Amino acid sequence: MTHAAPPAGSKFPVRFSRPAVISTMTLSETLPRAELIMAASCPTIERWKEHLDGGLAPQVHDEMTLHLDQCADCQRTLEHIAAGGDSLLDVARQVGQATEACAGHDSPLPPSLPQQTQAEATAAPDDDLAFLAPATRPGALGRLAHYQALAVVGKGGFGIVLKAFDDKLHRVVAIKVLSPSLAASGTARRRFVREAQAAAAVKNEHVVAIYNVEDEAQPPTWSWNSSTASRCKTSSTRLAH
Amino acid sequence: MSDASGTRASLLLRIRDATDQNAWRDFAALYAPLVQRFGRRAGLQDADAHDLTQQVLQAVSTAIHRLEYDPTKGSFRGWLYGVARRQLYKLREREGRQPRGSGDTDANLRLNELPAPDADDSDWWEAEYKKQRFLWATERVRGDFQPASWQAFWLTAVEGQSAAAVASMLGISVGAVYTAKSRVLDRIKQEIAALLDT
């Protein structure tokens, strides 16, 4: 009985010089079978680069994403290719830690927002404000509980910050609203409320006072004094991320 | 990633053109927050740190036209660090000249005190610059991604949450979280690279 060489384009990186069936048996003595199959079928670095560029056929893309679900090696490989090493990932975490440290906004703020952020903030598409009830005050964008939304201060993937008038307490406040797409997630809601509680616990002249947390509201919101809100625009935008 | 000084010259060439508003905006979005934090770290109030930032930008604008920055002698951010320190000194000198009741020599000495030019300070500047450059790049690429992709990236890469937790929060697979995170990182990397050599 003869053994043909693996077909051209085989995913197996090693061409067995001995009959393939014997090699497999030898290897399977040292590695669990599932692991063996996984290692043998990992996409190449070139393949992962194509995956990053998004140029692969949908079916191939789906297969590779499925592979990523399970293969910790490929998760690391992909991250490493994307970040061009570890340093960008390290910087990302430092940024995250710095943001956590100043959860109460006690950070020196950049003097101005980048233009594109401001443009984005004012150009909020209507869908983003779909959670607002019709305004009961002229000039307002809409109403959320007892808050009349006056303008969009900042927005991002995680939520939106609105300048609003508090009908109960008769003052202008800034309110942060969790993105409606995340409001259905229990984890996201808890995280949102925790963040508000952490901010409310800090009392400092540089820190805005949290007035209210509405975790029963749909979507959840929290509000703070608006006089410092404009100064905290960048922070708000970052929070809204 | 290389920060070779010569490759930085292009953004600096662009800001020499006084009519290129985009170049100045890009430049200020990247460096102004860095100088502002430098001022705050040196003990200035917000408003004073803001003045310092404006003066540094003014000084850069003048210096750029006089070609005072020489890319062969070091990185731009290293040169900017020197400009920021000199402007801080000038600001304190002006404060020191304000009429004061006592003429207290100790007080004047304290006012004129420069931040110690030790290694720690330039290390701080370097680390802060890298964080600021990262944030600057994220702002520039954010619009290119769907909110779910952006959240997958931000929650894992920046906030350090596990891919599994983020996947269940967003209702997508772990593989999709890694894909989204990596695509955003790749774009940020490219944005930073373009800053260095476009």
Same domain, B38 and B90: yes
| Residue B89 forms part of a structural domain | yes
* Section B188-195 average pLDDT: 86
Same domain, B111 and B157: no
Same domain, B156 and B120: no
pLDDT for the residue numbered A132:
81
- Kindly report, residue by residue over A122-176, the tens digit of the pLDDT: 444 455 677 788 887 777 888 887 888 888 877 666 677 788 887 877 777 777 7
Same domain, B131 and B156: no
Q: Return the CATH number of the domain spanning residue range A104-240.
A: 3.30.200.20
User: Which of A79, A98, A157 is closest, CB to CB, to B147?
Assistant: A157
Distance CA A104, CA A206 (A): 9
At residue A1 the predicted structure's pLDDT band, cuts being 50, 70 and 90, is very low
pLDDT for the residue numbered B184:
97
Query: Of the spans A72-86, A179-193, B68-82, which averages the highest pLDDT?
Result: A72-86
At residue A73 the predicted structure's pLDDT band, cuts being 50, 70 and 90, is very high
Set of chain B residues whose Cβ sits within 8 Å of the Cβ of A188: 169
Distance CA A37, CA B163 (A): 24
Sequence spans of domains, chain A? 104-240
Same domain, B131 and B150: no
Reported ipTM: 0.79
> What tokens appear for B95 in the block?
């404060």
Same domain, B149 and B128: no
Same domain, B101 and B172: no
Mutate to test the interface with B, among A112, A155, A194 (most CBs of B within 10 A): A112
Coarse DSSP helix, strand, coil percentages of chain A, rounded to the nearest 5 percent: 45, 15, 40
| Residue B184 forms part of a structural domain | yes
- Kindly report, residue by residue over B68-91, the tens digit of the pLDDT: 667 677 778 888 899 999 999 998
H/E stretch holding A154 reads strand A147-155
| Residue B32 forms part of a structural domain | yes
| Residue B140 forms part of a structural domain | no
The lowest-confidence range among A121-125, A188-192, B106-110, B194-198 is: A121-125
- Kindly report, residue by residue over A13-26, the tens digit of the pLDDT: 433 333 333 233 33
Set of chain A residues whose Cβ sits within 8 Å of the Cβ of B163: 75
Report the mean per-residue pLDDT for chain B: 80
Same domain, B126 and B106: yes
Chain B CA closest to residue A71: B175
Single residue among B86, B107, B135 that ends a domain in this structure:
B135
Instruction: Give the domain extent around B87.
Output: 5-135
> What tokens appear for B133 in the block?
């450059």
CA atoms within 13 A on the CB side of B150: 20
Same domain, B131 and B151: no
H/E stretch holding B71 reads none
pLDDT for the residue numbered A226:
52
Distance CA B122, CA B117 (A): 8
| Residue B131 forms part of a structural domain | yes
Q: Beta A159-166 vs A147-155: how paired, if at all?
A: antiparallel
CATH of the domain at B180: 1.10.10
Distance CA A179, CA A163 (A): 16
- Kindly report, residue by residue over B29-54, the tens digit of the pLDDT: 899 999 999 999 998 988 889 999 99
Is the pLDDT higher at A31 or at B52? B52
| Per-residue H/E/C for A93-129 | HHHHHHHHHCCCCCCCCCCCCCHHHHHHHHCCCHHHH
* Section B144-167 average pLDDT: 93
Single residue among B83, B112, B135 that ends a domain in this structure:
B135
Q: Any CB–CB contact under 8 A between B170 and chain A?
A: yes
> What tokens appear for B122 in the block?
């330039």
Are the Cβ atoms of A241 and B150 closer than 8 angstroms? yes
Same domain, B188 and B130: no
Q: 3-state DSSP call for residue A211? A: strand
Single out the residue of A31, A24, A32, A56 nearest to residue A43, CA to CA: A56
Report the mean per-residue pLDDT for chain A: 65
Distances (CA, A) of B13 to B5, B18, B23, B152: 13, 10, 9, 36
Set of chain B residues whose Cβ sits within 8 Å of the Cβ of A181: 147-148
Are the Cβ atoms of A82 and B189 closer than 8 angstroms? yes
Task: Quickly tell me which residue has 């944005």 as its tokens.
Answer: B191
pLDDT for the residue numbered A148:
85
* Section B113-137 average pLDDT: 78
Same domain, B130 and B178: no
Indicate whether A240 pLDDT > 50. Answer: no
Q: Any CB–CB contact under 8 A between B25 and chain A?
A: yes
Same domain, B126 and B175: no
pLDDT for the residue numbered B27:
86
At residue A83 the predicted structure's pLDDT band, cuts being 50, 70 and 90, is very high
Single residue among B89, B113, B135 that ends a domain in this structure:
B135
Please tell me the total count of domains within chain B. 2
